[in-house]
Amino acid sequence: MTEERSGANILVESLVKQGVEFVFGYPGGAVLPIYDALFGDERLRHILVRHEAGAAHAAEGYARSTGKPGVVLVTSGPGATNAITGIADAFMDSIPLVVITGQVPTALIGSDAFQEADTVGISRHCTKHNYLVKDPAELAGIIDEAFQIATSGRPGPVLIDIPKDVQIASALWNDAPAQRRQRYSPRTEGTADEIAQAVEMIARAKAPVFYTGGGVINSGPRATALLRALQEKIGAPVTSTLMGLGAFPADHADWLGMLGMHGTYEANFAMNQADLIVCVGARFDDRVTGRLDAFAPNSEKIHIDIDRASINKTVRVDLPIIGDCATVLDQILTLWGDRKGQDISAWKTRVEGWREKKSLSFPLSDKAIMPQLAVQRLFELTKDKDPVISTEVGQHQMWAAQYFHFFGPNKWLTSGGLGTMGYGLPAAIGAQLGNPDSLVIDIAGDASIQMNIQELGTATQYRLPVKIFILNNEWMGMVRQWQELTYESRFSQSYSESLPDFVKLAEAYGWKGIRIENESQLDAGIQEMIDYDGPVIVDCLVAKESNCFPMIPSGAAHTEMILYGDTVAGTMDDEAKALV
């Protein structure tokens, strides 16, 4: 049926046709026509956040945990600029978002009108694509194309800027399926020659390692299943980036743990000594490679990635395969068939020798709860519930990556590329909405949790039983650690001198507050958090000056690791310090 509709109504109908469940947003003058169109419409559930950054991060958490695109709706000017951090975060971590921003009326664009910002210009470098809509008749096609772009190829955010007069103006609306424009068609399959070469390289390798990233998870559950199937055929050890945790089960005998700056000894040394690295859905970022001239110097490298721009960007590879992780893994498995590779038992014995370093062993204290222990106990007491874990950013994030273990995809939500403090709470809210029956926990630090603490109100309003587990050491912990190691313990502005009482703050928002002050209270406090049918903040007081190891100093090779018990004073030379 064809009929006249306002631009705002066309937008709403288009979102419904896309199967959108939730819209994370905050109203303002330039989007009031859209909010009026949403009024009383039960097909879309609007989630009112307390800050536009919270809207973007909540949409990220929803997308990351469900595999569906997140949708954001904010007003012009400061509404749009407040959302930019979340948009940039999604861009760095390949999270599919469709962000709808209001704009001043078309005739006022460029006049410095009230609440005007050049949203398209500001967002150009942190979106896959963006639009300034000038005609309501174009809206349906733009919405359809935006969802296609956000979810195809390497996922990411797409922004649609809609002037207020376009929202009010009318155009013909047809509820028939839209004619999809195919302007974006990423390559998904490797060529026959590439697949044949990959199989030959794997077959002759005597010391192979799988290096996996977030692209495996973004490709979907089929990709994670195919990764496991190929690994079973080859027998090679597997490591992962921060964003790839959960793509391979952490209880597998060949799992090495995370690699990189705070990765395990065995993961980093396996990467350094391998004769073949099969990189699947990762991008050789600086936190993984360390000093480039010392990275995996004697290995051949296969790089499977759907993003052409990621190939040979930082590390030259011997065989690039541009394609979807699941599709390419399936191609390799099919061609591999019943082939037998080299005997890699000697290689796996070397790997076991590196494991003997027990690089995640940490010192215990009879005076304070060690943060590593707190995460270990949180994992042990919740693992049977298969929880969804989000984090803020800092030491607690790395401890969570090291000591909380994941056996499947879409359970680990963290800000990897941008490192955004304040990500975890709104991401947990989005994840809880997308997974209403799951236990969702934000592992937080006392500094980072305050970045978007106002979103406690969002969880209260929608009765979301989100849990926040704060590792409270009264410092900006990672800043303090770098100042200790790099700046001769000159702790400039990194001590949190006026923290709130998190228990009272929880109660002020209608949450339950629990404080854990010593190790004897740890298990009982965690269990109380799990058992409570509602939102909970746990304020876990941990050792104040614990450092996060293993650690590769910035500018060092990935074999130059600091472990617990090492002497760290003067670890970094002047060249390395200059790179911090």
Choose one of 331, 356, 381: the last residue of a domain.
356
Is there a domain that residue 196 lies in?
Answer: yes
| Mean pLDDT, range 543-572, rounded to an integer | 82
Q: How sure is the predictor about 565, in pLDDT bands with cuts at 50, 70 and 90?
A: confident
Q: How sure is the predictor about 23, in pLDDT bands with cuts at 50, 70 and 90?
A: very high
Per residue in 459-492, pLDDT (tens digit) is 999 999 999 999 999 999 999 999 999 999 999 9
* CATH number of the domain enclosing 388: 3.40.50.970
Alpha helices in 250-344 (DSSP H): 265-273, 286-289, 325-336
Is there a domain that residue 248 lies in?
Answer: yes
pLDDT number for residue 474: 96
- Cβ-in-10-Å burial (0-12, 13-18, 19+) of 309 comes to exposed
- pLDDT greater than 90 at residue 362: yes
Is there a domain that residue 569 lies in?
Answer: no
Q: How sure is the predictor about 580, in pLDDT bands with cuts at 50, 70 and 90?
A: very low
Is there a domain that residue 25 lies in?
Answer: yes
How many angstroms separate the CA atoms of 446 and 480, rounded?
Answer: 13
Asked if residue 131 and residue 31 are part of one domain, the reply reads yes
How many angstroms separate the CA atoms of 551 and 480, rounded?
Answer: 14
Choose one of 143, 174, 205: the last residue of a domain.
174
Q: Which domain holds residue 285?
A: 192-356
Per residue in 112-165, pLDDT (tens digit) is 999 999 999 999 999 999 999 999 999 999 999 999 999 999 999 999 999 999
Per residue in 365-408, pLDDT (tens digit) is 989 999 999 999 999 999 999 999 999 999 999 999 999 999 99
Q: What is the DSSP string of 227-252?
A: HHHHHHHH---EEE-GGGTTSS-TTS
Sign of the four-CA dihedral 538, 542, 546, 550? negative
How many angstroms separate the CA atoms of 85 and 427, rounded?
Answer: 13
- pLDDT greater than 70 at residue 177: no
Dig out the tokens for 337 from the structure. Answer: 């068939």
Asked if residue 237 and residue 136 are part of one domain, the reply reads no
Lowest mean pLDDT among 230-239, 388-397, 442-451, 493-502: 493-502
pLDDT number for residue 575: 40
Asked if residue 446 and residue 394 are part of one domain, the reply reads yes
State the average pLDDT for the chain: 95
Is there a domain that residue 549 lies in?
Answer: no
- pLDDT greater than 60 at residue 570: no
| Residue 495, strand partner residues | 475
pLDDT number for residue 273: 96
Per residue in 518-537, pLDDT (tens digit) is 999 999 999 999 999 999 99
The DSSP output letter for 495 is B
* CATH number of the domain enclosing 219: 3.40.50.1220
Q: How sure is the predictor about 576, in pLDDT bands with cuts at 50, 70 and 90?
A: very low
How many angstroms separate the CA atoms of 175 and 158, rounded?
Answer: 23
Is there a domain that residue 554 lies in?
Answer: no
- pLDDT greater than 80 at residue 571: no
The DSSP output letter for 360 is T
Place of tokens 């990709």: 223
pLDDT number for residue 358: 96
Count the alpha carbons within 13 Å of 385 in the hemisphere toward its beta carbon: 17
Largest CA distance in the chain: 74
pLDDT number for residue 519: 97
Asked if residue 200 and residue 135 are part of one domain, the reply reads no
Element (H, E) at 257: strand 255-258
Q: How sure is the predictor about 179, in pLDDT bands with cuts at 50, 70 and 90?
A: low
Asked if residue 414 and residue 331 are part of one domain, the reply reads no
Element (H, E) at 291: none
Dig out the tokens for 214 from the structure. Answer: 């977030």
- pLDDT greater than 60 at residue 573: no
- In angstroms, how far is CA 194 from the centroid of its own chain? 30
Asked if residue 381 and residue 352 are part of one domain, the reply reads no
Q: Which residues are catalytic?
A: 52, 114-115, 164, 478
| Mean pLDDT, range 213-236, rounded to an integer | 97
Is there a domain that residue 577 lies in?
Answer: no
| Residue 276, strand partner residues | 208, 300
Asked if residue 331 and residue 221 are part of one domain, the reply reads yes
Q: How sure is the predictor about 567, in pLDDT bands with cuts at 50, 70 and 90?
A: low
Asked if residue 169 and residue 70 are part of one domain, the reply reads yes
- pTM equals 0.95
Is there a domain that residue 284 lies in?
Answer: yes
| Residue 301, strand partner residues | 277
Asked if residue 392 and residue 329 are part of one domain, the reply reads no
Asked if residue 340 and residue 433 are part of one domain, the reply reads no
| Mean pLDDT, range 58-83, rounded to an integer | 98
Q: What is the count of structural domains for the chain?
A: 3
| Mean pLDDT, range 432-439, rounded to an integer | 98
How many angstroms separate the CA atoms of 471 and 544, rounded?
Answer: 10
User: What own/partner pairs with CB < 8 Å and gap ≥ 24 does 483-488 have?
Assistant: 484/547, 484/568, 485/547, 485/551, 485/553, 485/562, 485/568, 485/571, 485/572, 486/553, 486/572, 486/577, 486/580
Helix, strand, coil abundance in the chain, percent, nearest 5: 40, 20, 40
- pLDDT greater than 90 at residue 11: yes
Asked if residue 42 and residue 87 are part of one domain, the reply reads yes
Q: How sure is the predictor about 178, in pLDDT bands with cuts at 50, 70 and 90?
A: low
pLDDT number for residue 262: 96
Choose one of 174, 209, 233: the last residue of a domain.
174
- 389 with 366: CB under 8 angstroms? no
Q: How sure is the predictor about 574, in pLDDT bands with cuts at 50, 70 and 90?
A: very low
Asked if residue 141 and residue 41 are part of one domain, the reply reads yes
Place of tokens 């921060």: 242
